[in-house]
Structure 1
Amino acid sequence: MRRALHAEWTKLRTTPGTGLLLLTVVAATVGIGVLASAVTDCRAGGCTVDLAKVSLTGVQLGQAVVAVLAVQVIGAEYSTGMIHLSLTAVPRRLTVLAAKALVLTAVVTTAAAAGVAGSLLAADRLLPLAVTDAAVLRAAAGSVLYLVLVGLLALGVTTAVRNPGAAAGLVLGLLYLFPLIGLATTDPDFRRHLDQIGPMAAGLAVQATTGLDSVAVSPWRGLAVLGAWAAAALLAGGLLIRLRDA
């Protein structure tokens, strides 16, 4: 495993665009979060919105960049044929996938933590938000985990379908399709059900710090739903990478 981890880290850090994508994750998360915080007016009559969730709005854009990065981790090897060399050097295919998952988790955690921290620091100046409150810290930590799980979901999907373009489209469809359908439906029960099973809507429930009795799914349970999607994708990817020819 040590050799596989070193190889995957070397490939990731030397791949053109990796550094830019990680910086974009941070910039997108902080930028949209700052913009959302700046346009939220809490001066008159108090705030009626969840300030922690507002400050972390940028995660909804940052996740798209994380998905693209995760697709690149293995999709680039399939598109160039380098996957043959990777599996020749490390014949245990699940070890290769596990190493990619661990390296991806490490870099996404770093970028996500920086983006979330930057968003909260900005919100601390723009909003009456108690950033040291337990619920806010839970929302922040959950947002980091959310981005990591999105990356693992994308890695699993790409391993299964192999084609980077198709994988990116499928992952982004999974993330954004459920909320779009929810906006189009007029049935509140159906919309609530979509929020309970959709990877994005359920996962982002971890950001909620107010009105928890009215949300479709509780914060940690919602994140667990996203975790189940990611686990299923990795399981499918792991099974297919073992059974199919490279």
Structure 2
Amino acid sequence: MRHLHAEWTKLRTLPSTWWLLAATVALTLTVGTAAVSSVTTQACPDPAACHEDTVKLSLTGVWLGQAACLVLGALAMGAEYGTGTIRTTLTAMPMRSRVLAAKATALALLTAAASAVGILLSLGTARLILPTNGFEAPSLTDGPTLRAAAGSVLVLALVALLGLSLATLFRDTAGAITLGLGALYVVPLLANIINSPTWQDRVQRWAPIPAALSIQATKNLDRLPIGPWPGLGVLAAYAAGLLALGGVLFRTRDA
């Protein structure tokens, strides 16, 4: 508990933490609202025939909100290396594995809380907008909707841990953010550029974000390259694997 309290204190006293959490909520809500507002009966005269996945549409903002979560995760470790305060931390708490575990726990809980706010606001806004456009509003008590919402919260928390893992590996905030953003945005774009259906399918299955965002789908699940929970498992495996590798290096090399 001492380690967790210390990491929570450090995380909450960083001004950038609250700005980035606010950005996560704002981006998730704003982009999601814009997405559901774009669906009208002019574009689709018969809403029932369109089979529009309105739940997934309302959660579109996760695609952009994840960038703020990645930066927050990278700063949680990278800022200490950048200022040299990591030495003070390890002098006061020499059990490095506990330091990293406490940092990951505090980061994941705080990110999940902010993400839940953004997700709930996005779904609530969709319930107000979609009926005025002639579409059925997503039910917050529906099983697939709850799975998509909870899964989206987990996606953002795992992305934050991915940022933490990369910063622990590289001991550099800029390097962690650059590589992390490349994995989040550049790799998925390659799936649209590659002409090979085989490689497109592989990217959709094994790249962390395309696979993880399958958790948001509530319709036509049989057409997904990878199932919702296995897709989320791909991102979890990346985050856990890199965090474990970072933990090994964190324990064995000098601060």
Query: Match of 1:166?
Result: 175
The C-alpha deviation readout for 1:15-44, integer Å capped at 9, x for no partner, is 122111111110110011001010112461
- In 1, the alpha carbon distance for the partners of 2:254 and 2:88 equals 13
Q: 1:71 aligned to 2:74? A: yes
Partner residue in 2 for 1:244: 253
Aligned to 1:222: 231
Distance in 1 between residues matched to 2:244 and 2:20, nearest whole Å: 26
Partner letter of residue 78 of structure 1?
Answer: Y
| Paired residue secondary structure (2:221) | coil
- Cα distance in 2 for partners of 1:79, 1:159 equals 12
Question: Distance in 2 between the 1:237 and 1:130 partners?
Answer: 40
Aligned pair count reads 245
Structure 2 residue runs of 5 or longer lacking an equivalent are 131-135
How far does residue 134 in structure 1 lie from its aligned partner after superposition? 1.0
CA distance in structure 2 between the aligned counterparts of 1:76 and 1:179, rounded to whole angstroms? 28
Mapped pair 1:45 → 2:46: yes
2:14 aligned with 1:5: no
Distance 1:61 1:31 in 2: 10
Match of 2:119 in 1: 116
For 1:188 and 1:229, how far apart are their aligned partners in 2? Answer: 24
Return the alpha-carbon distance in structure 1 between the equivalents of residues 51 and 156 of structure 2: 27
Q: State the 4+ residue runs in structure 1 displaced beyond 3 angstroms.
A: none
| Contact 2:126 2:138 survives alignment (8 Å) | no
Is the Cα–Cα contact under 8 Å of residues 68 and 168 in structure 1 kept in the other structure?
yes
Q: What is the 5 A alignment of 1:26-45?
A: 26-42=25-41, 44-45=45-46
The answer as to 2:126 corresponding to 1:126 is no
Residue 22 (structure 1) aligns with: 21
Alpha-carbon contact 2:163-2:177 (below 8 Å) kept: yes
- Distance in 2 of aligned mates of 1:16 and 1:115: 20
Q: Pick one of 213, 220, 242 that aligns with 1:233.
A: 242
Does residue 81 of structure 1 match 2:81?
Answer: no
TM-score normalized by structure 2? 0.94
Distance, in Å, in 2 between the alignment partners of 1:105 and 1:81 is: 24
Q: CA deviation at 1:136?
A: 1.0
Structure 1: distance between partners of 2:18 and 2:70: 15
What is the Cα deviation at residue 189 of structure 1? 2.0
On the 8 A contact 2:54/2:138 being kept in 1, the answer is no
CA contact (8 A) 2:58 2:122 kept: yes
Q: Give the C-alpha shift of residue 49 in structure 1.
A: 2.6
Task: Work out whether residues 123 and 138 of structure 2, in 8 Å CA contact, stay in contact via their aligned partners in 1.
Answer: no
* Contact 2:4-2:102 within 8 A present in 1 as well: yes
Q: 2:144 aligns with which of 120, 135, 148?
A: 135
Q: How far did residue 225 of structure 1 move?
A: 0.4
- The one-letter amino acid of 1:130's match is P
- The AA in structure 1 aligned to 2:45 is A
Q: For the residues of structure 2 that align with 1:189 and 1:133, how far apart are their CA atoms?
A: 34
Report the CA distance between 1:129 and its aligned residue.
2.5
Name the counterpart of 1:191.
Answer: 200
Q: Is the 8 A contact 1:178 1:195 kept in 2?
A: no
Q: Which moved more, 1:123-132 or 1:8-17?
A: 123-132
Query: What is the aligned-residue identity percentage?
Result: 46
Counterpart AA for 1:45: D
Q: Give unpaired runs (5+ residues) of structure 1.
A: none
RMSD value over aligned CA atoms? Answer: 1.0
Stretch moving more, 37-46 or 83-92? 37-46
> How far did residue 177 of structure 1 move?
2.2
